[in-house]
Structure 1
Amino acid sequence: MSLPAGVCSAAPSSAVFGRQDVTSSAEPDLHALSEIARRVRWLSAAIVDAANRGRLNDTGIKVGGHQASSASMVEIMVALWFHNLTAVDRVSVKPHASPVLHAINYLLGDLDRAYLPTLRSKGGLQSYPSRAKDPDTVDFSTGSVGIGATATIWAAIAHRYLRSKFKGTPPAGRFISLLGDAELDEGAIWEAVADPMVSQLGELLWIVDLNRQSLDRVVPGIQIDRLQGMFEAAGWQVVTLKWGERISRLFSQPGGEALRQRLDAMPNEEYQRLLRASPTDVASRLAGADPAPDLSALLARMDTAELSAVVRDLGGHDLGLLVRTLRDARSDRPTVIFAYTIKGCGLPTEGHPNNHSSLLSESQMRLLAERCGTSLEDPWRAFGEESVPAALCEHRSRDLARGASACREEVNVPRSLAHAHRRPVSTQAALGRLLRDLANDAPSIAARVVTCSPDVASSTNLGGWINKTGVWSSGERIDWFADDSERLLRWAEAIDGQHIELGIAEVNLVGLLGELGATWSRWGQRLIPIGTIYDPFVSRALEPWSSGIYAGGQSILVGTPSGVTLAPEGGAHQSITTPSIGLEQPGCTAWEPAFASDLEWCMLHAMSQVGLAGGTSAYFRLSTRPIDPALARVPDDPVLKERRRRQVIAGGYRVTDNDPSAENVTLIGVGAVMPEVLDAARTLNSAGVTAGVVCLTSPDLVFRAMNEGSGDATVLDSLLPRQARSPLVTVQDGHPHTLAFLAGWRGDAIRCLGVRHFGQSSDLHDAYKLHGIDTVGIVDAALRLLGR
């Protein structure tokens, strides 16, 4: 293949791990592709127009949409869907190009015509591509800029992991991200690109819509060299499609090289202004103040209209160039294609710096319809049945058809393991033991577990599990410390490992968790992904984790250690708001067990809910504080023990056996503070104040039972019987407002104890005293409520 000057060549593709040959050898029908591109440009604009001008709206709130951002992506997406894609490819579409995706799916017969006027309406097309909520095929949910683009990386790793574990896993092709150049401002992009594992993923293909505009402005200066260098330094193949074939032929004529140099040296702002200039002014703007003689001669020879058109001939709008470049992208390492485009290409607003969310008027829509060979009165008109574009749409619809990906095997997670909890142990250590025991007691379930960590595996107690199962790598690697007798953690990296270690980037961790948790719906193989992270950094990872849950990725995130219980680490490493973050996260159940037995039951229950239709993610807040399991008073009788287990997974249980109607005060604790809560109850009882104790394992589930009627509706009646009202003191190593809702159940007086300000380095007792969650603070709060 001969590419125009200025376009990087690409080696032919070849098969790599987990990837099929995905290229089409047939020559494209460029005329048919052009006709389809014209229709897609119209349909994407009409979808937004119908949502705004065509819909009754008495709220005064603009519906919105992105006609200009869609227009710049049309040729890129047409080249992909109508020539280069196969059914096994997966594509992440930039958020603001969702109308283009829906227009393409409509032409392919994957979207009913009735949905086209429903953008941003209830039950209609979502504002941004949504894998869970849109009615047509969407591979990745996007919307949070940077997060959707990087999802292809984690999906590629997840598929490689599946292929290494389970025979019969369906093949995958390329994992493609379509993203805007302004999206490269997001730090999530570079955290992902920089991870050492990513440079091995030859199935990755990113296409950057380089339209040189962001939401509010033209991207200043010329940044392409910096961006190219950053990808190259990370091991990516970089391909740049700046100019189309028409203007590239002009560059070879006398004066053409001077024209190229003039255009390449233009700042983005000057080029954008050139697009908005009158055709009669283009030549003088190109010439500049002191033009080279051969440039002046070239400009003088050119027709005004031709010159105005040729400066718009960018690589990202050249269908032939796009098709060949996409076909020939390398497969031995990831590829990024910088495709120069015009924002609003083909629209009356093309190139305008304020066109991001502007809407075409009726007269502008009529002009666009005329250019695209359609009409505003019949906006959804399809191609004629006997036309070449219609035949191509039908052909590509068959090529891209996918079968269902139902899970193939029943996976039954045990309710408990046959190991007693007798010695004081922290919930963090209990997690490590549970995973190790699971591999022995339930190997078929353990085979579905994959753990992940951002370089904190050993400090979050995954060492035993890693020694048992190994670290996963897409290929065998030499363990240079295998003969070191003093090494406690065996870090053998091989294709059969079950722990994936990432660099210190929490965003990458949760991105991978989301895609590992979506394999059941993508490829019919269920995984149970568990990620460990220092709890103070949950907030840093929250947006991408939440986005993954929104997209249908189910996983278990373990925040540990948590709270001021991590006293020596000081305020920088003491999490305060995470309990309420967990309670407020949709699609997730938040847990904070205090005892090893509670952790076992809650974790196994959470594992049973991950990786299946109707499943849910989970967040665990764990501690490094060893707690005596005897304090939980777990019954020995099997029937009563099972009753306790059910209470634990419903959200909480009573530790004391007082008659609730005889209690003067009820103390409610969560997590690591339970020893202080129980000690405070003993102190109060010795002073003649009858104090009951409730241990909550999931304030989240209790809140739902109270406010939503979901979960176990009887849990509150067992914890706080309506007929036995008493003042409440709640205690948590986190913000006190997390449990304030409990007062609303019976209308009790309440005092909520917790952490409201940054701490400092100290020992555990000083930390609890500083925040008023020690025994003395709890007793004092109870007596004050009672007026004593």
Structure 2
Amino acid sequence: MTTLWAPAAPDAVPRSADAPSEELLRSIQQRVLWLSTAIVHHANRVRPNPSGLKVGGHQASSASMASIMTALWFGDLTSADRVSVKPHASPVLHAINYLLGGLDEKYLTTLREFGGLQSYPSRTKDPDRVDYSTGSVGIGATAPIWGATARRYLDAHAGALGAPAEPRGRQISLVGDAELDEGACWEALLDPGTAGLGEVMWVVDLNRQSLDRVVPVQTAQRYERMFHAAGWQVVTLKYGRRLGELFTLPGGDALRHRLDTMSNAEYQRLLRADGPRLRERLPGTGTAAGEVRRLIGELDDVRLREAVRDLGGHDLSALLSAYRAAEPGRPTVVLAYTLKGFGLPTEGHPANHSALLSTEDVHALAASCGIDPQHPWQRFAEGSAEAEWCARTAGRLARPEPAAVAAPAPPADFGRPHNGRSSTQQALGRLLLDLTRSAPEVARRVVTVSPDVASSTNLGGWLNKVGVWSEEERTDWFADDAETVLHWREGRQGQHLELGIAETNLVGLLGELGATWSRWGQPLLPIGVLYDPFVNRALEPWTYGVYAGGQSILVGTPSGVTLAGEGGAHQSVTTPSIGLEQPGVLAYEPAFSQDFEWCFLHALSRLGRPDGTSSYFRLSTRPVDQRLARVPQDPREREERRRQAVAGGYVLREADDAAVTIAAMGAVVPEALAAADSLEAAHGIRARVVCVTSADLLYRALQDRRRAGASPAGTDGAGGTGGSGGAGRPDILAEILPPERAVPMVTVLDGHPHTLTFLATVDRVPVVSLGVSGFGQSGSLEDVLSHHGIDAAAIAAAAAGLAGR
């Protein structure tokens, strides 16, 4: 571990011949501080706000990052680097982009305004360059780890994909110390692959404050030990040059010991003390208090206040030294002690997190920065050293848009029959192998990821075929063992990445693998596989990845209470409705292998493209007789069935004089068919059976129809399915639920019943919704389905009740 508490003089800092002077950087830092403060001020106190609703922004959190970001952008960053900026420092990023000419002045007045600058950095919504979206605390911080992994994977496969070799660059996270409370940070650090990512650098804004309070205990030393134990290089910037000089004087060791050992709250209180109170409190009551008192007695009040707040995270020379101290073979963390609210009247105040400067305070800040508050958006004067350096920095950081490479289109249909009894989970393994034979150019771009469940989710055959990705070739010591079924061949050409049991890491990596098409112009087709009960655990980071433009397929398997013997802990209930409600994602839950094949191939075709989308598949381990699917043999009818399955559903069993419709999804479709048989045999009631493959797409079609102003008896004229990624058909509802066949409806699925209830509103018919609304139970499949009321007998009873029998 390295502690830089008294950096060398500026001229001794190693830098290139044309590096900026510290004086020049300090001038730019002051303008960055002003602009970031003014952006928040205008949004809250200048821009009209008829509703009176708080706009918000974080002037103090931005101020603590002004030095860190100024030194990085204007003194060290290269065009190949990518930076994740902590959420509350977004005004600093916009200020820097403005000074570099990457943001039009008109946007500086639009923070948190509709169509303007976003509350937190967003790759897809902000008008200026943002490398990583942030906002979900801890998730954006870890994204560069997975971005580095994705880039290494892409580099390893560049030859096979026809991609040009490019500079790798660093992946940098600017992290607030309160973010380190988030467990996602430590999950990512502990993944075995992280310790070898020498291009990763984290800079921790260690201001010792969170949203509500001063952090009560010192945590920096604990952070040092934790990062070091994870294999990181640790560089600590605690004190600046003024304090470093004082430490060399008589009494300096005592002063340093006093500052090192006082609590965070006591230190923060000293920041708010005037000269006399500071002289009274700083020496403390220990045996060395006299030495400290004599040392500070030689300083006037101004110098004393400056010295106490002289922290390494605001020493520009120390920051540059820290950035350049990174070792190539392992990641680096820079723990930079800072002041929250640095340079503002709220500096160090324990309640400054969301505090806004008054107009008078803003005008005073403007005067200290040489700014006319009536013209707040001034760039540096043309011809000035600052303007020249901004222009040179902009040139150094110029990054052309990557030339987009289109992913090869997968086939729509493999054209082979699905016979016997099999599950949709088994179909996943077969499809990936079929892809290597039928569309090898597509298969080359597929990369699978799982959290130590590859074999139990039927990826074994695929894994044996393509191998496991590793930065180095490793010996498979079980290659000659006849009893070993799963062959773990690790090397740079492998296409499967195995993580530890940490779903947050899985989907973090999935999102970054799914963003290579927009970051570097090379699309991958990433597929993440995890147990469906743990989709909830992975949901927030996967949502972040989708929001940030990552396109991927998430497969939850096995799912539902049809995973009978596993019991409630492994039986998912809410995931079908999650799929329906998740923005930016298509959700499918097919019942049959053929339906799965069609829908999955379509989902692959939607990845790695500007108009693309992610998908979620909920699969089952329940073997189903594939003959029940009744796949048409006629090519035209087969194609129509395929198009309907991809669009959300189809009529599996028609009945001209039906008294009831049974709409079923997923693994309980066989129960729906059995219920239809028993209804007719026992009561003479004819039932239509609709097989739903995607509640998500059917709901979007319904919403589109309503927006288009169509009546329930009409067809959808909206020309789309509400952002369904080209999967939907405007007329799908009229095809599977035609108004002339409107009859009472039973809906059923192996999940929460409300997921399919909306189908009754298509034709406004009575409905009974069956599903799982309690925790699961261990038992046989028959007992479990009966317990939850989704067996054939329960479905038939509900249908008979609706039919008046």
TM-score, normalised by the number of residues in structure 2:
0.95
What residue identity is the alignment partner of 1:513? L
What residue identity is the alignment partner of 2:102? D
1:179-198 equivalences in 2 (<5 Å): 179-198=175-194
| Cα displacement (A) at 1:169 | 4.5
1:495-644 equivalences in 2 (<5 Å): 495-644=492-641
1:236 aligned partner: 232
Task: Describe the superposition over 1:662-696 as per-residue Cα deviations: whole angstroms up to 9, x where unpaired.
Answer: 21001111000011000111111223101010001
Question: What secondary structure is seen at the aligned counterpart in 2 of 1:219?
Answer: coil
Q: Is the 8 A contact 2:645 2:693 kept in 1?
A: yes
2:431 aligned partner: 434
Which residue of 240, 250, 256 maps to 2:252? 256
Question: What secondary structure is seen at the aligned counterpart in 2 of 1:408?
Answer: coil
Question: What secondary structure is seen at the aligned counterpart in 2 of 1:328?
Answer: coil
Question: What secondary structure is seen at the aligned counterpart in 2 of 1:399?
Answer: helix
**683 and 3 in structure 1: CA distance in 2 versus 1, 3 angstrom threshold:** closer
Q: C-alpha distance in 2, partners of 1:541/1:279?
A: 52
Q: C-alpha distance in 1, partners of 2:198/2:17?
A: 20
Which residue of 299, 307, 310 maps to 1:310? 307
1:332 aligned to 2:324? no
Which residue of 296, 300, 307 maps to 1:299? 296
1:732 aligned to 2:752? no
Question: What secondary structure is seen at the aligned counterpart in 2 of 1:271?
Answer: helix
Question: What secondary structure is seen at the aligned counterpart in 2 of 1:536?
Answer: helix
| Cα displacement (A) at 1:770 | 0.3
| Cα displacement (A) at 1:7 | 7.8
Q: C-alpha distance in 2, partners of 1:6/1:488?
A: 59
What residue identity is the alignment partner of 2:770? L
Task: Describe the superposition over 1:565-606 as per-residue Cα deviations: whole angstroms up to 9, x where unpaired.
Answer: 101010111100000001000000000000000000000000
- Unpaired runs of 5+ residues, structure 2, are 9-13, 706-720, 722-727
1:484 aligned partner: 481
1:15 aligned partner: none
1:372 aligned partner: 369
1:162 aligned partner: 154
Question: What secondary structure is seen at the aligned counterpart in 1 of 2:739?
Answer: coil
2:729 aligned partner: 712
What residue identity is the alignment partner of 1:785? L
Q: C-alpha distance in 2, partners of 1:292/1:513?
A: 55
Which residue of 781, 789, 792 maps to 1:772? 789
Task: Describe the superposition over 1:466-491 as per-residue Cα deviations: whole angstroms up to 9, x where unpaired.
Answer: 00000001111222222221100001
Task: Describe the superposition over 1:442-468 as per-residue Cα deviations: whole angstroms up to 9, x where unpaired.
Answer: 110000100000000000000000000
Q: C-alpha distance in 1, partners of 2:262/2:328?
A: 34
Q: C-alpha distance in 2, partners of 1:258/1:163?
A: 52
1:44 aligned partner: 36
**4 and 503 in structure 1: CA distance in 2 versus 1, 3 angstrom threshold:** closer
Q: C-alpha distance in 1, partners of 2:165/2:146?
A: 17
1:11 aligned partner: none
Q: C-alpha distance in 1, partners of 2:17/2:4?
A: 21
Moved more, 294-303 or 335-344: 294-303
What residue identity is the alignment partner of 1:462? L
Q: C-alpha distance in 2, partners of 1:410/1:775?
A: 44
| Cα displacement (A) at 1:530 | 0.3
Q: C-alpha distance in 1, partners of 2:752/2:403?
A: 42
Q: C-alpha distance in 2, partners of 1:456/1:24?
A: 49
Q: Is the 8 A contact 1:24 1:84 kept in 2?
A: no
Aligned residues: 772
1:669 aligned to 2:686? no
| Cα displacement (A) at 1:3 | 7.9
Q: C-alpha distance in 1, partners of 2:665/2:17?
A: 62
2:119 aligned partner: 127
Question: What secondary structure is seen at the aligned counterpart in 1 of 2:748?
Answer: strand
Q: C-alpha distance in 2, partners of 1:285/1:560?
A: 62
Q: Is the 8 A contact 1:706 1:713 kept in 2?
A: no
Q: C-alpha distance in 2, partners of 1:617/1:6?
A: 50
What residue identity is the alignment partner of 2:424? T
Q: C-alpha distance in 2, partners of 1:622/1:375?
A: 62
- Unpaired runs of 5+ residues, structure 1, are 9-21
2:724 aligned partner: none
Task: Describe the superposition over 1:36-65 as per-residue Cα deviations: whole angstroms up to 9, x where unpaired.
Answer: 000000000000000000111121211000
Which residue of 635, 655, 666 maps to 1:658? 655
What residue identity is the alignment partner of 2:397? L
Task: Describe the superposition over 1:702-731 as per-residue Cα deviations: whole angstroms up to 9, x where unpaired.
Answer: 000011241311111011101221010001
Q: Is the 8 A contact 2:658 2:688 kept in 1?
A: yes
2:55 aligned partner: 63
- Percent identity over the alignment is 60
Which residue of 435, 445, 448 maps to 2:445? 448
Q: Is the 8 A contact 2:405 2:517 kept in 1?
A: no
1:32 aligned partner: 24
1:287 aligned to 2:283? yes
Q: C-alpha distance in 2, partners of 1:220/1:559?
A: 41
1:205 aligned to 2:206? no
Q: Is the 8 A contact 2:3 2:238 kept in 1?
A: no
| Cα displacement (A) at 1:375 | 2.5
Task: Describe the superposition over 1:166-190 as per-residue Cα deviations: whole angstroms up to 9, x where unpaired.
Answer: 2315332000000100000000001
What residue identity is the alignment partner of 2:785? Y
1:11-30 equivalences in 2 (<5 Å): 24=16, 26-30=18-22
What residue identity is the alignment partner of 1:57? N
Which residue of 679, 682, 702 maps to 1:684? 679
What residue identity is the alignment partner of 1:581? I
2:800 aligned partner: 783
| Cα displacement (A) at 1:29 | 1.4
Q: C-alpha distance in 2, partners of 1:620/1:704?
A: 17
Question: What secondary structure is seen at the aligned counterpart in 1 of 2:447?
Answer: strand
Q: Is the 8 A contact 1:170 1:523 kept in 2?
A: no
Q: Is the 8 A contact 1:40 1:100 kept in 2?
A: yes
| Cα displacement (A) at 1:280 | 2.5
| Cα displacement (A) at 1:5 | 4.8
| Cα displacement (A) at 1:293 | 3.2
What residue identity is the alignment partner of 2:776? G
Task: Describe the superposition over 1:498-519 as per-residue Cα deviations: whole angstroms up to 9, x where unpaired.
Answer: 0000000000000000000000
1:14 aligned partner: none
Task: Describe the superposition over 1:154-173 as per-residue Cα deviations: whole angstroms up to 9, x where unpaired.
Answer: 00000000000023153320
Q: C-alpha distance in 2, partners of 1:775/1:657?
A: 18
1:265 aligned to 2:261? yes
What residue identity is the alignment partner of 1:772? G
Task: Describe the superposition over 1:395-444 as per-residue Cα deviations: whole angstroms up to 9, x where unpaired.
Answer: 00001011112322451111011432112110000000000111111110
| Cα displacement (A) at 1:328 | 2.3
Moved more, 261-270 or 169-178: 169-178
What residue identity is the alignment partner of 2:792? T
Question: What secondary structure is seen at the aligned counterpart in 2 of 1:53?
Answer: helix
**169 and 754 in structure 1: CA distance in 2 versus 1, 3 angstrom threshold:** farther
Q: Is the 8 A contact 2:664 2:747 kept in 1?
A: yes
Which residue of 140, 153, 178 maps to 1:148? 140
1:400 aligned to 2:397? yes
Question: What secondary structure is seen at the aligned counterpart in 2 of 1:773?
Answer: coil
1:466 aligned to 2:458? no
| Cα displacement (A) at 1:284 | 1.5
What residue identity is the alignment partner of 1:619? Y
What residue identity is the alignment partner of 1:56? P
| Cα displacement (A) at 1:134 | 0.1
1:339-418 equivalences in 2 (<5 Å): 339-418=336-415
Q: Is the 8 A contact 1:669 1:731 kept in 2?
A: yes
Q: Is the 8 A contact 2:43 2:55 kept in 1?
A: yes
Task: Describe the superposition over 1:622-681 as per-residue Cα deviations: whole angstroms up to 9, x where unpaired.
Answer: 00001111101001111111111111101000011323xx21001111000011000111
